[in-house]
Chains A and B, each alone.
Chain A
Amino acid sequence: MFENLLSPNFTTFITLFIFGLTIMVTHHNLIKKLIGMYLVQTSIIFFLVTIGAKSGSTVPILLSAAGPIEPHVYANPLPHALVVTAIVVGVSTLGVSLGLTIAIFRRYGSLEEDEILKRLE
C-alpha cells in the first residue's frame, strides 16, 4: 500500500499541506489565513481520497444478489464517507470563520492583523 504514497498524489498532498500551513501562520491578512486553512483542509481530503482509491473497481453496490460477494470488485466506501463528513466539517468551519471575519471588518474596518492591533491600542 505504501509504495502508493510516493506517487504524485502524495507529493501533491504534502505540497498543498505545507503551503496552506505556511500561509496560515505567516500572512497577516485574515482572508489569506482562511485561504491557507482551506488549503490545509483540502489537502487532507485529497489524502483521504488517495488512500481510498482503487483502480478498476466499481461503486460499492452489489452487482447481483446471487452468488458470493467479491470484495475486490468494489471500491471501499468508508474513505468516501469520511471525505463527505470532513467536507461538511470544513465548510462549517469556513462559515464560522467568514462570519467572524465579517464582524471584525465591520468593527475595525480592516482585514490586516497589524492594523487591527494598532487600532486596539
Chain B
Amino acid sequence: MTSQAVCLIFLLPFSAAVAMPMLGAWRRSWCRPLALSAVGLMALFAFSACYDVLTQGPVRYALGGWDPPVGIVLVLDGLSGLLAVALSLVSLACLFFGGPALPKDLGSKVVPYHTLVLLMISALAGVTLSGDLFNLFVFLEVSALCAYALVGLSGGRALIAAFRYLILGTIGASFYLLGVGYFYAATGTLNMEDFLNRLPDALHSKAVLTGLTFILLGLAIKAAMVPFHGWLPDAYAHAPDAVVPLLASLVTKVSLYAMTRITFWVLGASTLTYEFPLLFLLSMGGTVGAVVGAFLALTQQDLRRMFAYGGISHVGLIVIGITAGNQTGFSGGVFYLANDAVMQATLFFIAGIIMYRCGARDLNQLGHLGSQMPWTSAALIVTALSMIGIPPTGGFFGKWYMVLGALEAKNYLAVAAILSSTLLTLAYFVRIIERMFGEKPSNASAAQLASEEPVEMRVSMGALAASIILLGLFSDRIVGLILRSAVPPGLG
C-alpha cells in the first residue's frame, strides 16, 4: 500500500489535470470541486506516506517495475516526505483561495486555469519525489511550462513578464540539462544514489566539475538566487491574483529543494571533499541574495513587487541555512523553507484581497485600510512578525537555528547577512504597516471599499496565518523530525 501511495501523490493531480478539459467542456462548475478533491486526496496520501516513511524508513518506488539504476525510481525519504506534505497543503490553500479570485481576473479561463494549476502541482510533487537526475529535469520543465502559461493567462502586461520568465527559465533548464549530460558522460548513470556511489572515482574529472557548475547555475536561475532573480518581480507583479500565491510559495521553493537534493544526495557535499569549497560558494550566493533582496524590497512602491523581493531575500536566507555545513543550520534551513512557502502564500493572499476589495497595489493607496479590513491587517501583522523573525512565529525559530548553524560553522559573514536582512525586512514591513494604519486615507477610492471579500479568501488566508503561528509553536518537534530523518548522511 505504501509503495502505491508514493506514486499516487504525483498521479492524483496529474489524472485530474488530464480529465479537466473534458469535464470543463461538459460542466464548467465541476472544475473547482474536482481540483480541490484531487489535491485534498493528494494531501491525505502525502500524509500517510510521510508517516510511514518517518516510522519505517525511506521508500523506493520503481516505476513500471524496472529496478534502479536501470529504471526510473521515485524516492520518498524524510526530506521529500515532509516537503510533499507541505507542498500539498499549501497548494490546497492556494487552490481554495484561487476560486473566487477567478471571475474578476480571468474571465472564462476557468478550465485552463485549473488544468494548468493541477499539472503544475503534480510536476512539483514529481520534483520532490524524483530519484533520477533526468527525470527531475522533465518534472522541472513541466512545472515551469505551466508556470509560464499561468503567468501569461490574464493577458496584457503579464504576457511580457511571462515571456521574460520563459527565456530565463529556459536558459536555466538548458544549463541543467547540459550538466546532466556531463554527469552522464563522467559516470554513466543518472540514478541519484548510483551516481553518489560512483562519484568518488570520478571526483576530479573535469566533466563532473563542469556538470555541477552548470546544474547549480541552472537551479540558481530557477530558484531566483541573486543575481539570477531578474525574472521574478515582474512575473509576480503582473500575474493573475489567483496564480501568484502558488508561484511564490511553491515554484522557487521546489527548485531550492532540488538544489539541496543535488548538493547533498547527488554531489555528496557532506561526505566527499572537493578541490574547492562547494558549500561555502553556495552560501556566499545566499549571503549576497539575503541582503540585496531585502534592500531592493525596501525601495519598492508596489506591494506585490515588495513581497516578491522579500521572497528573493528569503531564498538567500534558506541557502545560507542549508549550506551551513552542519545539522543545526541544515534543519533550520529546511524548516525555514517550509515556513517561507506558507509566508509567501499568505503575503500574496493579502495582496490579492487588497486588490480584490479596493483595487490598490501601490503603497500610497493603502491609506487607512487597516481599520477597515481588520482580518487582512491581522494576517498581515502575523506574517510580518514571521518574516521579520519575532517569536512565537515560525520565522523566528527558522532564523534562530540558521544563526546557530552559521555560528557553529564560524561563518560570521552569514550571521551578519541574516541579521541585516532581518533589519531590512523590519524596515519594509514598517513602511507597509505605517501606510495601512496611517491617519488619513490618501485617496478617495480607498475609502469606498468593495463589498466584503469572499469567505473562501478569508478562510484560506486565516488558515495559513494560523499555521504560521502553529509552525512556531511546534517548531521543536518539526526541527527534531528533520534532524532525525531528513538530514543528509555524514553532515557534522
Which A3-58 residues have C-beta < 8 A from chain B? 5, 17, 21, 24, 30, 33, 37, 40-41, 44, 47-48, 51
Q: Does B264 contact A (CB under 8 A)?
A: no
How many Å from the CB of A37 to the closest CB on chain B?
5
- A96 with B207, Cβ < 8 A, contacts A40-B171, A44-B181, A47-B178 known: no
CB distance from B310 to the nearest CB of A (A): 25
Could you jot down 7 A-B contacts, CB within 8 Å?
Answer: A2-B207, A24-B171, A37-B171, A82-B180, A85-B134, A92-B141, A107-B159
Name the CB-closest residue of B to A116. B160
Chain A residues proximal to chain B, CB less than 8 Å:
1-2, 5, 17, 21, 24, 30, 33, 37, 40-41, 44, 47-48, 51, 78-79, 82, 85-86, 89, 92-93, 96-97, 99-101, 103-104, 107, 116-117, 120
Chain B 150-169 interface mask (CB, 8 Å, partner A; 1/0): 00100111011011001100
Instruction: Decide if A93 touches B145 in the complex (CB within 8 Å).
Output: yes
Contact A40 B163 (CB under 8 A): no
**B171 contacts A21, C-beta separation under 8 Å:** yes
| Pairs of residues from A and B, 10 with the lowest C-beta to C-beta distance, nearest first | A51-B185, A89-B141, A104-B159, A40-B174, A100-B163, A48-B181, A44-B178, A103-B159, A97-B166, A37-B170
Q: Does B149 sit within 8 A of A, measured CB to CB?
A: yes
Whole-angstrom distance between the Cβ of B257 and the nearest chain A Cβ: 20
Chain A: which residue is nearest B141 at the CB level?
A: A89
Assess whether A24 is in contact with B167, with CB atoms less than 8 Å apart: yes
Interface string of B59-101 (1 = CB under 8 A from A): 0000000000000000000000000000000000000000000
B382 contacts the other chain (CB 8 A) = no
Number of A-B pairs, beta carbon distance below 8 Å? 81
Chain A residues touching B, majority SS: helix
Q: Known pairs A2-B206, A97-B166. 7 more at Cβ < 8 A?
A: A24-B167, A41-B174, A44-B177, A82-B181, A89-B141, A97-B163, A100-B166
Give the complex CA separation of A110 and B337 in angstroms: 41
Do B177 and A86 touch (CB < 8 A)? yes
| Distance A70 CA – B488 CA, assembled complex (angstroms) | 39
Closest CB of chain B to A68's CB: distance in Å? 19
A30 touches B163 (CB 8 A): yes
Q: B138 on the interface (CB 8 Å rule)?
A: yes
Interface of B is mostly: helix
- A92–B148 Cα distance when bound, in Å, is 12
Say yes or no: is B51 at the interface (Cβ < 8 Å to chain A): no
Residues of A within 8 A of B265 (CB): none
Contact with A along B114-152 (1 / 0, CB 8 A): 000000000000000000001001100100010011001
A contact residues around B155 at 8 Å (CB): 103, 107
Residue in contact with B167 in the complex, picked from A33, A78, A103, CB distance below 8 Å:
A33
Asked whether B184 is an interface residue with its Cβ less than 8 Å from the other chain, the reply is: yes
A104 touches B163 (CB 8 A): yes
- Residues of A contacting B167 with CB < 8 Å? 24, 33, 37, 97
CA distance A117 to B181 in the complex (A): 38
Nearest CB of A to B215, in Å: 13
Complex formed: what's the CA distance from A5 to B205 in Å? 13
In the complex, what residue of chain A is closest to B179 when comparing beta carbons? A44
A2 CB → nearest B CB, Å: 7
Bound together, the chains give a CA A117 to CA B234 distance in angstroms of 13
Asked whether, in the complex, the Cβ of B145 is within 8 Å of the Cβ of A96, the reply is yes
- When C-beta atoms are compared, the residue in chain B nearest to A103 turns out to be B159
A82 adjacent to B141 (CB under 8 Å): no
Please name all residues of chain B whose beta carbon is closer than 8 Å to the beta carbon of A99 when the two chains form the complex: 149
In the bound complex, what is the Cα–Cα distance between A67 and B386 (angstroms)?
67
**Distance in angstroms between the alpha carbons of A120 and B234 in the assembled complex:** 14
Closest to B189 in A: A78
Report A-chain residues with C-beta under 8 Å of the C-beta of B173.
89, 93
CB distance from A41 to the nearest CB of B (A): 6
Query: Bound complex: CA of A90 vs CA of B82, how far in Å?
Result: 32
B166 contacts A96, C-beta separation under 8 Å:
yes
Residue in A1, A85, A100 with the greatest tally of chain B CB atoms within 10 Å: A100
Structural contact, A96 and B181, CB atoms closer than 8 A: no
User: A6 to nearest B CB, angstroms?
Assistant: 12
Instruction: Using CB atoms, name the residue of chain B closest to A89.
Output: B141
For B177, what are the chain A residues with a Cβ–Cβ distance below 8 Å?
44, 86
The residue of chain B having its C-beta at the shortest distance from the C-beta of A41 within the complex is B174
Q: Which residues of A contact B178 (CB under 8 A)?
A: 17, 44, 47
Bound CA–CA A33/B164 (angstroms) = 10
Report if A79-B141 is in contact (Cβ < 8 Å); known contacts: A33-B167, A100-B163, A104-B163.
no
Closest-by-CB residue of B relative to A85 is B138
- Please state if B163 and A93 are interface contacts (CB–CB under 8 Å): no
Contact A44 B157 (CB under 8 A): no
| Nearest CB of A to B287, in Å | 26
CA distance A97 to B164 in the complex (A): 10
Across the interface, B184 reaches (CB within 8 A) one of A17, A79, A85, namely A79
Q: Which residues of A contact B174 (CB under 8 A)?
A: 40-41, 44
Contacts of B138 in A (CB 8 A): 85, 89
